Structures are given as structure tokens and as C-alpha cells.
Structure 1
Amino acid sequence: MWKTILRRVLLMIPQIIILSLFVFLMASAMPGDPFTGLITPDMDPATIERLREAAGLNNPWYIRYWDWIVNAIQGDFGKSFTYKIPVSEVIGQRVGNTIWLSIVSLVFTYLLAIPLGMFAGRYNGSWGDKAISFYNYFSFAIPTFVFALLLIWIFGFNLGWFPTRGTVQTGVAPGTFAYVWSRIYHLILPALSYALLATTSTIQYLRTGVIDAKQEDYVKTARSKGVPENKVYNKHIFRNSILPIASFIGYDITGLIGGSIFIERIFSFPGMGRLFIDSLLARDYSVITALILLFGLTALFGTLLSDIIMSIVDPRIRIE
């Protein structure tokens, strides 16, 4: 298994090279550059041209790519044109917020999806199953930004239960219990907004798995031996029905990191998603290329992580 993991990691090297080249070329093809916004009627064009020359933007694309990738391997993604500090420092200030938002969202997702999926599969055809199916259709159809704005309007402005922006209350001293609670409190509504829409596939996979497992011979045998119904579902059916979901855990974990763009933007949450949108608007190529490369790397490692999780959950499945 470890040899296979090492081989998979080595095979990811050419994928990363192709991804980095694609990301760099796409960013370079964007109209304008970081200095376009500085051009005004009273600005000397020669000054702008000197800035572009100093930044290396006038060099051929292959020279700029080579310089960028060599520095990136060493952890240097250049300097942000917007924030005037190294890109690694800009991302470092936001990555923690996105990771915590992703973790809380993932916890909410499975806390909601697993009970609902088990209930729908166990009592398929009931009114409860139909209500869960309607919720699935609704969560699948409604756009993320519309649903997030709806929750902000209900729970933020009307009821006032949760804050609607930021990561911590202004004026709270870091390191105190009030600070920690404020961070958690600010995470709840954006994480819940994401989780309520992310449960669709998990509920559907689990529901289908439970319905199929109910007809298997091992379930009929357990029932014939007098095993309690709750134990049949919790021990036998659930264990086998959870396998398709386990295969997607790696994708879910890494997908949350790059998939929180709309949530962070709507909630003014200073994470990597909001940084990505702001960098696009500012044509900050250094940050854009670094973030897209990071999102691509997490997707590649998510594939590997899913295979590892599957081999742990089901001993019959091994990576060969």
C-alpha cells in the first residue's frame, strides 16, 4: 500500500507541472495587468512602463513562467501587487480562516446528512422520506449566494441570532475565552449555509445504499437470528452503506477549501475564497496563480486521500 501511495505521489509530479503551466498561461491571458488601474490622464505612460519592466511583465511568457516556477518550488510566489507583501504571507493570513470554516462546514454536513440519509433509506416511501427528498431537490436547485443571503436576512438581520460578517467581534482581546467563542460564533452561520446545501449527494448516496442493503442476504440472516432492528441498521446496514460516502470524503475535504468562494464573499469572511475574488478584480497575478495552484494541488491530494480512506474503511478494498 505504501509503495502504491509513493507511486501515486510521483505520478502527480507531471500533473502538477501541467497544472502550473495552465494556471500561469490562463492568468497571463487575462486582460490588463496590476498596473492598468494606475493609468490616469495625468499619469506619465513611461512611469507605468518602467513599473512593468521592473516587475518582469514585458519578458516572454516562458521566461516569466520559468522564473515563477523556480521560485514557487522554494516557497516564494512573488510579491502581491495589491498588498505589497509576499504572496505566501498574504495567503498565510487567510488560510487558517478557510481551514476552520471548511472543518466546521464538514462537521455540520455529516451531522445533518447521515441521520437524514439513514432515515430516508429506512423508511423509504414514507412522508418523512418525501420531505427529505423535497429538501434535497430544493438544496440542489437553489444557488449558493441566494441561499446564503436568505439565511443572513432571516438569522442575521431579522432574528439577530448570528453575526453577518467578519471572523471575530471588534475589540475582543486575542487569547481570551471571549475571543475563542467569538471566532466560533462567527463561523456558525457561514458554515451552516454551506453545509445545508452540501448534504444533497451524501443523503442521496446513503439513502440508496440503505435501500439496497435492506435486500441483502446478510441482513435477512441477521433478522432471522433475532437481531434487534436498530442493531441491524446501525451495525450491518450502515457499515456497508457508508462506503460510497467514504470514497468522497477526501474530495469533500479538499473541495471545501476551494469551494467556499461565494460563502466567504457574501459573509465578508477573510479567507482564501474572498482573497481569490479580490485578487481577480485587482488583476493581482501573483496571488491568483498561487491560489489556483494551491486549489489544484488540494484536488490532486484529495483523490489520493479518498483512496486511502476507502482502504481503511473497507479492508476488502486495497490500493494495488
Structure 2
Amino acid sequence: MWKTIVRRFLIMIPQLFVLSLIIFVMAQFMPGDPFTGKITPETDPARIEELREQAGLNDPWYQQYARWIGNAFQGDFGNSYTYKIEVSTLIGERAINTFWLSLLSAIFLYAIAVPLGVLAGRYNDSLFDRGVILYSFISFAIPTFVLALIFLYIFGYQLGWFPTSGSVDVTQEPGTFGYTMSKIYHMLLPAITYAVLGTTAIIQYLRTEVVDAKTMDYVRTARSKGIPMRKVYTRHIFRNSLLPVAAFFGFTITGLLGGSIFIETIFAFPGMGQLFISSIASRDYSVITALVMLYGFLALLGSLLSDIIMSIVDPRIRIE
């Protein structure tokens, strides 16, 4: 198993190299550059050209790429043209906000999806099951930005139950209990919205697995031995039904740092998703390339983690 894990990590190196090349070339085709937005009628064109020359934007693309990838291997992704700080520092600050928001979202997601999926499968074709299926269809059909706007309007502006923007109350001092509670309070509405939209797949997987498991021989054998149905569900059906969910758990873990572009943008939450959108709008190449590289690495890492988790949950599966 360990040999396979090391081999998979080694395979990631050329994959990330190819990804970095594609990302960098595509960034070069974007119209304009980081200094385009600074041009006004009063701007001296010579000064803008001087800034471009200092930033190396007039060099051939392959020279820019060689310089960028060499620095990237040393952990230096350059400076943000918009925020005027190091890209690694900027992403680190936003990644913390995104991580906690996504972690809270994942807690709500599984707290909603697992009970609904298992109970819908156990009492399939009942009124409760039909209600869960209807909920799944509605949550699947509604676009992310539509539900986010509805929740923001109702619970944020009309009822005033939750903040409508930001990640913390500016009057709170960092490190205090009030500061922590304020951050959680600001994350509740975006996290609930994110969770409601993400439950569909898990509910359907669990429901289908539970319905199928009820007809399996091991369930009949357990029932014939007089084992109560409650224990059959908790010890046999529930555990086996979680296998499809475990298969995606690795992507869920790595997705904690990916963030949600729509959720963070609509709720004005300063996370990775919002940073990605703002960087594209301002043509902040250094931030864009670093973020896409991070997303690519997280996708590859998620695939590996899913394989490892599956091998742990199901002893029949081994990574070879």
C-alpha cells in the first residue's frame, strides 16, 4: 500500500507540470494584463510600459514560464498585483476562512444527508420517502446562486437573522470568545446554503444502497437468527451502505480548501472562491495561476485519499 501511495505522489509531479504549463499559456491568452485597469486619460503610457517591463510581461512567454515555475518550486508564487502582498500569504489568509466555512458546511451536509438517506431507504415508498425524494429533486434543480440569493434575501435582509456579508464583526478583537462566535455566526447562513445544495447525491446513494441491502442474503440470514431489525440496520446495512459515500469522502476533504465560488461571492465571504473571481476580474495573473495549480493538486490528492479511505472502510479493497 505504501509503495502505491509513493508511486501515486511521484506520478503527480509530471501531471502538475503539464497542468502548470496549460494554466500559464491560457493565462497569457487573457485579454489585457494587470496594468490595463490602471490606464486612465491622465495616465502616462510610458509609465505603464515601464511597469510592464519591470514585471517581465514583455518577455517571451517561455521565459516568463521558466521564471515562474522555478520560483514556484521554491514556494514563491510572486506578488499579487491587486493586493500588493505575496501570493502565498494572500492565499493562506483566504484558505483559513474557506477551510472553516467548508468544514461547517460538511458537518451540516452529512448531518442532513445521512439520516434522510438511511431513513428514506429503510421506509421506502412511504410518505416520508416521497418527501425526501421531492426535497432531493428540488435541491438538485435549483442553481446554487438562485438558492443563495433567496436565502440571503429572506434570512439576511428580510428577517435579519444572519449577517449579509463578511466573515467576522470588525468590532471584535482576534483571539477572544466573542471573535470566535462572530466568525461562526457569519458562516452559518453560507454553510447551511452550501449543505442544502450538496445533499442530493449522498441522499440518493444512501437510499439506493439501503433499499438494495434489504434484499441481500446476509440480511435474511441475520433476520433468521432472530437479530432485531434495529441491529441489522446499525451493524450490517448502514455500514455497507456507506461505501459509496466513503468513495467521495477524499474529494470532500480536499474540497474544504477549494471553496465555493458562488456561495462566497454572493455572501461576500472573503475566501478562496471570492479571491479567484476577483483575481480574474482584475487580471491578477500571479494569483490566478497559483489558485488553479492549488485546485489541480487538491483534485489529484482527493482521488488518492478516496482510494485510501475505501481500502480502510472495505477490507475487500486493497490498493496494489
TM-score range, shorter chain: over 0.9
Distance 1:29 1:253 in 2: 33
Work out whether residues 102 and 253 of structure 1, in 8 Å CA contact, stay in contact via their aligned partners in 2: no
The equivalent residue for 1:202 is 202
Q: What one-letter code is carried by the residue in structure 1 that aligns with 2:231?
A: K
Secondary structure in structure 2 of the residue aligned to 1:269 = coil
Deviations for 1:149-191, whole angstroms, at most 9, x for unmatched residues?
Answer: 1111222222222212111112112211111111111111101
The equivalent residue for 2:58 is 58
Displacement of 1:128 in angstroms is: 1.0
Provide runs of 4+ in structure 1 moved above 6 Å: none
User: TM-score, structure 1 length as denominator?
Assistant: 0.98
Is the aligned partner of 1:33 residue 2:33?
yes
Distance 2:245 2:270 in 1: 30
Range 253-262 or range 99-108, more displaced: 253-262
The equivalent residue for 1:313 is 313
Corresponding pairs, count = 320
Displacement of 1:256 in angstroms is: 4.4
Distance 1:176 1:256 in 2: 25
Q: What one-letter code is carried by the residue in structure 2 that aligns with 1:266?
A: I
The equivalent residue for 2:149 is 149
The equivalent residue for 1:173 is 173
What 5-or-longer segments of structure 2 have no aligned partner?
Answer: none
Which runs of structure 2 are paired with 1:43-192 in the superposition (5 Å)?
Answer: 43-192=43-192
Distance 1:53 1:258 in 2: 33
Which runs of structure 2 are paired with 1:247-262 in the superposition (5 Å)?
Answer: 247-262=247-262
Distance 1:223 1:157 in 2: 53
The equivalent residue for 2:271 is 271
Displacement of 1:259 in angstroms is: 4.5
Deviations for 1:240-279, whole angstroms, at most 9, x for unmatched residues?
Answer: 1100110001112223432411111111111111111111
The equivalent residue for 2:228 is 228
User: TM-score, structure 2 length as denominator?
Assistant: 0.98
Distance 2:165 2:148 in 1: 12
Q: Identity over the aligned pairs, expressed in percent?
A: 65
What 5-or-longer segments of structure 1 have no aligned partner?
Answer: none
Q: What one-letter code is carried by the residue in structure 2 that aligns with 1:197?
A: L
